[in-house]
Structure 1
């Protein structure tokens, strides 16, 4: 009985992961930035040079970000 329950739990977990991955396709990647001294959240495709990216420790930066050294 325990093995049967574990099998059902595993199957539900896999189905939930696939559902989350399918939904992620519909959400465009966004970035939190400071632009013109105002914090805002914009689509990652709208990033421009001069935007200051606000990154949380648990978040991955958008792929369009190039690291620049402050002078």
Structure 2
């Protein structure tokens, strides 16, 4: 039923719009063909082989250093 409704609406469109619909459908197909997104990994786990000691405080300190003067730099 849905496919017939879509077909009727597309047939009423000018050829250039029909081409756009086709391209959009192909785009949607390509997005679903890639499968589910990969699982995110914990950054600490990714760095575990480097024998680093990254703490939450170190991360917060780096954020303050990097973003601390951000509004001033954009003036």
**TM-score (ref. length: structure 2):** 0.37
Q: Which has the higher contact order (CA 8 A, sep 6+)?
A: 1
Higher CA-based Rg: 2
Q: Name the one with the larger helix percent.
A: 2
**TM-score (ref. length: structure 1):** 0.39
Q: Name the one with the larger strand percent.
A: 1
